[in-house]
Amino acid sequence: MKKTGIICLLILMFSCKNKLDINAEYKEIPSIYAVLCPQENLHMIRVNKTFLSEDNANQYAQVTDSVNYPAGELEIRLTRFVNGNPAPATMNGNKPVAVFHDSVIQTLPGAFSTQQRIYVNYDKLFPNGLYVLTVKNLRTGNVFTAKANSLDSMPLGAAQPFANPLYPVPYHPNNPPYFYIDYSNPNVFYSIVESPVNGAYFQDLRIRMHYYDSLSGGNKIFKSFDFTFSYLNKNNISDGKYKFSFYGQTLYDAVGNHLKNVQNPPGFLGRRMYKIDFLVTAAPIELYDYLQFSAPSLTFSQEKILYSNFEGRKALGIFTFRSRCHISKEMANSFVTQFALNKATCAYNFYKFIPQGQGQALQLGTCP
C-alpha cells in the first residue's frame, strides 16, 4: 500500500497558498487497507500514519515511527450484523468480536520504511453478513469505522473444471474423460466458464500448474507456475457467466518462458506435471473503485482524489471483502504428455505418460 500519493498531494495543496503554517495543529487521518477474505485463515490489516514535514518528505517516509503507530496504541475490532441484528463475528467459538493484534513485518526496500506494523487475526470469518470495522486510537480517543458485506466463495457447479471429482482421482481404465482436465491440443481455443459470485463486481482466474523435479535417489522437489488472467468486471458477463479463453499453445508458451529462468537442481533427472489448480478470486465494487483511484495518473496533472469508504472520510483507504475459490483437478494423460512434446516445453526434460496395461509408466520426451 503506497502513501507517496498522499504526501505529494498534501505538499501540492499547500504550495498553492501564499501563507503556509506548517506547524498548524496535527489532524489524525490514518491510511487503512483492510481487504479481508473469509476463505482464508489469516487476516491482515495495514494502518499507517499520514504526515506533513518541513523537511524532505521522502526522508520522513523512511523513518519507522513516521509511518507506523506505536505498538499497542490501536485497538482494531470486527463486529457482525445479520438482518440488522448483532450476530457472532467468528465461526470458531461464535465470538461476538474478532480482535486484531499488532505485529511487525519486513518489507522490500522502497519509498517507505521496510519495517511495517500490521494487524493480524486468525479467526474464521463468516462468508455472509455485514461486518463493521472499528479502529480506535487508545491515546487520542479517535475512532474510525467502515462497513462491508462479506463474500461467499464460488460454488462448485455441473461444468468442468468447477465440478467433481476433485484431485486426486485414483486410476481406473473405466474412468470417463470428464474426470480429467485436458488442454493438450495447442491449436484449440479453450474456454473456462464460471458463475459470478453474488455481490461481486469483478473477478479473476489463475491456473496453477503443479510439477515436480525428479532427482537421483528417488527424491522429488515440488514446484508450481501460475497462468493468470486479468480481472473481468460485471460488463463481461455473457448469459450470466464469466468466460476466460485461451489457445492451448499460449499455456505451453507461458510454462516455457517460466522454465527459462529455472535452474535444474543437483541430481536432476526430469520433471512431470501432475496436478492443475483453478483459483478464482472475486471482489465488490468498492475494491474496483479503490484500484481505479489508486492507479497511476497518465496525465500531466498528478493531483488525485484520495479514496475512502470510511465514515465521514475520517480515514483514507478501504475496508472490504474478497472471496476465493481454490480447487484441484487431475490432469489427463495426453495433457501430461504434451509438455514433453510441445515445441515450447520439450527442451525442459518433461516426462511423457505411457499407459501400460493396467499400470502406468513415465518416459522422457524428445523435441520433434
Question: What would the pLDDT profile of 90-110 be if each residue is shown by its tens digit?
Answer: 999 999 999 999 988 665 554
- DSSP helix/strand/coil, 352: strand
Q: How far apart are CA 117 and CA 115, in angstroms?
A: 7
Helix (H) or strand (E) holding 336: helix 333-341
Task: State residue 237's pLDDT score.
Answer: 87
Higher pLDDT, 268 or 156: 268
How would you label 55-87 residue by residue, b for 16+ Cβ within 10 Å and e otherwise?
eebeebbeeeebbbbeeeebebbbbbeeeeeeb
Could you tell me whether strands 85-87 and 74-82 are parallel, antiparallel, or unpaired per DSSP bridges? antiparallel
What pLDDT is attached to residue 151? 95
Separation between Cα atoms, residue 231 and residue 288, nearest integer Å:
10
pLDDT of 361 above 70: no
Give the C-alpha separation, 252 to 343, whole Å. Answer: 8
Please state, in angstroms and rounded to a whole number, the distance separating the CA atoms of residues 169 and 332: 11
- Please provide residue 291's backbone torsions phi and psi, each rounded to the nearest 5 degrees: -65, -35
pTM score over 0.75: yes
Per-residue pLDDT at 158: 78
Q: Any idea which residue has 494502518 for its cell?
A: 47
Q: How far is CA 138 from CA 20, 50, 72, 133, in A?
A: 31, 18, 8, 16
Mean pLDDT comparison of 52-61, 149-158, 346-355, highest-scoring range = 149-158
| Mean pLDDT score, 301-312 | 79
Nearest to 241 by CA among 154, 151, 150, 165: 154
pLDDT exceeds cutoff 60 at 301: no
Q: Which residues pair with 275 in a beta bridge?
A: 210
C-alpha to C-alpha distance for 8 and 298, rounded to whole angstroms: 16
Banded model confidence at residue 302, pLDDT cuts 50, 70, 90? low
CB environment 124-150: b (16+ within 10 A), e (fewer)? bbbbebebbbebbbeeeeeebbbebeb
Find, among 316, 322, 324, the residue nearest to 294 by Cα: 316
* Residue 220, pLDDT score: 94
Among 32-46, 107-121, 145-159, 269-283, which stretch is predicted with the lowest mean pLDDT?
Answer: 107-121
Asked if 265 and 215 count as a contact pair (C-beta separation under 8 A), the reply is yes
Given pLDDT bands bounded at 50, 70 and 90, which one contains residue 4? very low
- On the question of pLDDT at 2 being above 60, the answer is no
DSSP labels, 183-239:
---TTSEEEEEEPPPTT-SEEEEEEEEEEEEEETTS-EEEEEEEEEPPPEEGGG-BT
